Amino acid sequence: MNSVNIAIIGTGLIGQRHLDLASKIPGCKLVAASDTHPDGAKMGQKYSIPFYEDYRRMLIEEKVDGAIIATPTNTHADIGIACAQHGVHMLVEKPITGSLSDAEQLVDAAQQHNVKILVGHHRRHNLLVQQAREIVQNGQLGKLIGVTALFALLKPTDYFNVEWRKQTGGGPILTNLIHDIDNLRFICGEIENVYAAASSATRGFEVEDTASLTLHFANGALGSVLVSDATPSPWSYELTSGENADYPFTGQDCYQFCGTEGSLAFPSMTLWRYPKKQEGLPGWYKPLEQLRRFETAENRPLSAQLAHFCDVIRGDAEPLINGREGLKTLAVTQAVLESAQQRVPIAPHL
């Protein structure tokens, strides 16, 4: 397997996790890092790699095959376009950019310079998410009728010591729900309309702390989602997936998919249906059977995402979530905000 040269741009919270993985994954060679903050130099020393305060100089001086862009969202477009101009493939953290017009420009630049974009919606690399998609899309639940999803947890009060997190755009819709929107698009299919209500009544900040939404999928299924970062609750992807050791695992479910032949709870992967050999008509007076559909020991989505990025760079795979897909997830999430503000249903601007 040919080794590919990877550079990290932005060595903050998520950038440090990428640095750690890029230094370990076979076939991936960590060659340089960049951050505008001089403290980033410590990362260069830690991994014995060149460190640059100016990523543009890094792109000129180092031989980089792929860059991981882990800087604040509003910088993704400029940095990504510079990478494209240097012929460097990119893994862009989510959301792809801060606006749809920026995302369009980035996707166009990548196409023009023939480089690949992988968007960091890493949950698509979770084997349970992939299994749920297979169960739903292969018709194992029959025709999909609907889905319920919960992102309900408590962010500690000191999370809000950072000013932007109290202001419009800094809340759970753009920060957290975007992950669930991407999961639901990946598992259930395209979302063509959203109707949302948002509230800031619990904390009283400008930003929402709670939202409720109705989703219309193109295949006719409906979705119902409750979002709140102000409740002590065990029901969120964060606390149920066991994906990130920073979050205590609750063993609960966060999504329920309902079809004409059965239902699936995620991530316990419990499938409920009526036994084939039951006498009489299936229905609410008859006992349902419960099946566990999947067991997995090795499920590390962030590592899997990076290994996949290296395959994309080598030309051995197409991005599991490319720039256009990342743009669609952003468009649906922005439609949620727009619907909540205008109090009308909104079709995502795709």
Ligand X SMILES: NC(=O)c1ccc[n+]([C@@H]2O[C@H](COP(=O)([O-])OP(=O)(O)OC[C@H]3O[C@@H](n4cnc5c(N)ncnc54)[C@H](O)[C@@H]3O)[C@@H](O)[C@H]2O)c1
Binding site for ligand X (CB under 6 A): 9-15, 34-37, 55, 70-73, 75, 93-94, 120, 122
When the beta carbons of 74 and 112 are compared against ligand X, the nearer one is 74
Least CB distance from residue 1 to ligand X, whole Å?
Answer: 25
Tell me the H-state helices in 189-287.
237-240
**C-alpha neighbours within 13 Å on the C-beta side of residue 144:** 27
When the beta carbons of 55 and 186 are compared against ligand X, the nearer one is 55
Residue with tokens 């989505």: 301
Give the 3-state secondary structure of residue 164.
Answer: helix
The 8-class DSSP code of residue 346 comes to B
CB atoms within 10 A of CB 317: 15
Please tell me the distance from the alpha carbon of residue 66 to that of residue 298, in angstroms, as a whole number. Answer: 26
User: CA nearest 294: which of 146, 127, 144, 182?
Assistant: 127
> In the bound complex, which residue of the shown chain has the CB atom lying closest to ligand X?
12
Please tell me the distance from the alpha carbon of residue 306 to that of residue 295, in angstroms, as a whole number. Answer: 23
When the beta carbons of 121 and 203 are compared against ligand X, the nearer one is 121
Please tell me the distance from the alpha carbon of residue 322 to that of residue 137, in angstroms, as a whole number. Answer: 20
When the beta carbons of 94 and 116 are compared against ligand X, the nearer one is 94
**Count of positions (residues) in the chain:** 350
Least CB distance from residue 195 to ligand X, whole Å?
Answer: 25
When the beta carbons of 126 and 263 are compared against ligand X, the nearer one is 126
**Which H or E run contains 253?**
none
Cross-strand partners of 117? 90
Least CB distance from residue 13 to ligand X, whole Å?
Answer: 4
Least CB distance from residue 166 to ligand X, whole Å?
Answer: 16
* Residue 66, burial from CB neighbour count under 10 angstroms (0-12, 13-18, 19+): buried
When the beta carbons of 40 and 146 are compared against ligand X, the nearer one is 40
When the beta carbons of 59 and 141 are compared against ligand X, the nearer one is 59
Least CB distance from residue 220 to ligand X, whole Å?
Answer: 31
Give the 3-state secondary structure of residue 294.
Answer: coil
Least CB distance from residue 121 to ligand X, whole Å?
Answer: 7
Least CB distance from residue 175 to ligand X, whole Å?
Answer: 7
